[in-house]
Amino acid sequence: MAQVNDLSRSVSAFDPISTLVVVVEMSKASWLVSGVVPGVERQPLKKLDPDATALLRLIERWRNEALRAGRPISRITLAYEAGRDGFWLARWLIARGIEAHVIHSASVAVSRERKRAKTDRLDAAMLMRVFLGWLRGERGHCGMVAIPTMEEEDARRPSRERESLVDERSRITNRMKSALARFGIRGFKPHLRKAPERLAGLRTAEGTGLPANIIEEFRRDMARLALVREQISSIEKTRVERLERAPDTGPHAMVRLLARVIGIGIETADMLVREILSRKLRDRRAVARYAGLTGSPDESGLKRREKGLAKAGNARVRRGLIQLAWRFLMFQKDSALAQWYRTRTEGPSGARKTTMIVALARKLLIALWRLVTTGEVPDGVELRPAA
């Protein structure tokens, strides 16, 4: 039976005699490249400009050194830490026949000294240690990140851009409301389309109109709000058009299936599918862990306590799921999940609702994952008619 690579360890046999191992400590200004070259006693270390072609030349030079030492190389494997540069380098190297991996930053254990030494050289040595342990198939050294294709990365951009634009809209609106509160004006809604027309009619608590400078500032803010509103509308319209053009291909089928659940709209369905549900996760525990909806126990000796959510996963998914859980209680009151929640929170001895909503969000995520992967509809959940 084929083994499933869960990215916590390598399932390929590691032969140190014929394998060239390379790690790259990446920064904005430079790359520090460390290698383990078969047949070469020293562990070479080279500082490069951020240049993929120069890195490829360096790897080829080390390969020739191993060949001159009588150790022909049959496998070249390289790893770097996930960060600012993303996954382009891994894809670029894989296309050129090099086995590339991206190390999950939070999976690397570091010294707990209060003022530990930290340099690029020490970081490169640490990455090499954990990468060698991962290659040997030992658990606990580090975990790898699944490398997405360029198309998969691009598919997440509309949802993330829309989230940024919604935050911008809220920031501008809140700033305007705060400025109006300093003049004793409440109840004015600057985000409405007709708000610029009503601006001149506002009266302060002293019975006068707004000062000239604040009116000009508000007009500029409202112009920005109109632009943000237009961009949000454009993103939503484009998403619907893409779904209609290819309704049953790849993730689009998942989005349409999720959107049939009453209480889930296209935006939430698209975010969940692009961020988590379309990933090839091993089981339900991996799904909950990726969203950061698992607990973080603190146990030592007789001490037993729970520190709350780990929050080590995808923050967008976690925020969206908790909002969806509250909405799910409104639209799916007869579902088994909603009844489970009410049973544990009602009455004087019930648990706190804000605590249990997280547990509901975790159960809801797993139920939706099963829905899009196996077609299993959660008990009592109402679906819209298929389009």
| pLDDT band with cut points at 50, 70 and 90 for residue 6 | low
**Range of lowest pLDDT (50-59, 110-119, 182-191):** 110-119
CA distance 88 to 148: 9
Cβ neighbours, 10 Å, residue 368: 26
Given a cut of 90, is residue 57 above it in pLDDT?
A: yes
* pLDDT average, residue stretch 282-292: 87
pLDDT of 295 reads 78
Residue 102's DSSP bridge partners are 80
**Ranges 153-167, 248-262, 282-296: which has the least confidence:** 282-296
Band of pLDDT at residue 3, cut at 50, 70 and 90:
very low
Say what the pLDDT of residue 2 is: 39
Is 167 in contact with 225 (CB distance < 8 Å)? no
Determine the pLDDT at residue 140.
Answer: 85
What per-residue confidence (pLDDT) applies to 1? 33
Quick one: pLDDT at residue 4? 45
Tell me the per-residue pLDDT of 98-110, one tens digit each, with 9 for 90 and over.
Answer: 999 999 988 888 8
pLDDT digits (tens, 9 = 90+) for 122-134: 999 999 999 999 9
What one-letter code names the amino acid at 359?
A
Tell whether the model's pLDDT for residue 5 goes beyond 70: no
- Exposure of 243 by Cβ count < 10 A (0-12 exposed, 13-18 middle, 19+ buried)? buried
Map residue 352 onto helix, strand or coil. Answer: coil
Mean pLDDT computed over every residue of the chain: 90
Residue 60 in this model has a pLDDT that exceeds 50: yes
Residue 381, both tokens = 């959940």
The residue type found at 372 is V
